[in-house]
Amino acid sequence: MVNIAIFASGSGSNFEAITKYLQKRKTAKVSLLIYDNSKAYARIRAEKLKVKSVFVNPKKFKSKEAFEKELIKILKAYKIKAVILAGFMRILSPYFVQSFANRIINIHPSLLPAFKGTDAIKKAYLYSVKITGITVHFVDKKIDHGPIIWQEPVKVTPQDTLKTLEEKIHKTEHKIYPKIVEYFCRGRIKIKRRKVEIA
């Protein structure tokens, strides 16, 4: 079974959705949660789901490279084959991305390339978009960027508030992301010259 690590900085609801899905289906194993924020609620979820969690405090390292070298050391120790970013609010350097080339996946709560960065749901809502959604993509050297694996649209109705839209987006993330992660772990997602194919 493929061992994966999930990186999170905050609530960890996607971490929980992916972990529960894979624990039930036993198609891959979430062996590790790495978090970079001591207050991340993801840690509590990991405890409940009996997943090992490791806090890597960026402030303890002299440079980004030193921080990422520590990440890579841990990933190697746990024989991690893929890194799943789930609300990990930190830009990974080309050095890290290269070390796990085509094995890092991210989710973003908008239809990329629209509304990159933080607060994407709010940005889309304030823009008064009629359709937004979620994007799952391979990670490259730029932020919220890289070959797209899957996009799922979410309609914004006149009745939606920011809160209801956030709920719809998160519900969609929790439905889609675990399936994509499983597909990837089963070798059903291929990438060649930045073109993604799902078998």
Measured from the CB atom, the residue of 36 and 144 that comes closer to ligand GAR is 144
SS3 of the chain: helix, strand, coil, percent, to 5: 35, 25, 40
Residue 182's H or E segment, with its range, is helix 162-185
Between CA 20 and CA 5 the distance in angstroms is 14
> Any idea of the CA torsion for 124, 39, 137, 183, to the nearest 10 degrees?
-130
Judged by CB under 6 A, the stretch of 3-11, 23-31, 61-69, 72-80 that binds ligand GAR is 3-11
The secondary structure of 21-61, three-state, reads HHHHHCCCEEEEEEECCCCCCHHHHHHHCCCEEEECCHHHC
| Closest-approach residue to ligand GAR (CB) | 87
Binding to ligand GAR (CB under 6 A) within 67-86 occurs at 86
> Binding of ligand GAR at residue 11 (CB under 6 A)?
yes
Judged by CB under 6 A, the stretch of 4-12, 23-31, 149-157, 181-189 that binds ligand GAR is 4-12
Which is catalytic among the residues 108, 145, 170, 174? 108
Query: In the set 19, 35, 67, 87, which binds ligand GAR (CB under 6 A)?
Result: 87
Query: In the set 33, 107, 156, 165, which binds ligand GAR (CB under 6 A)?
Result: 107
- Per the listing, tokens 């990438």 go with 191
> Binding of ligand GAR at residue 178 (CB under 6 A)?
no
Q: Known catalytic residue: 108? A: yes
Between CA 2 and CA 27 the distance in angstroms is 8
> Binding of ligand GAR at residue 8 (CB under 6 A)?
yes
User: Which residues form the catalytic set?
Assistant: 108
Site residues, ligand GAR (CB under 6 A): 8, 10-15, 86-87, 107-109, 120, 144, 173
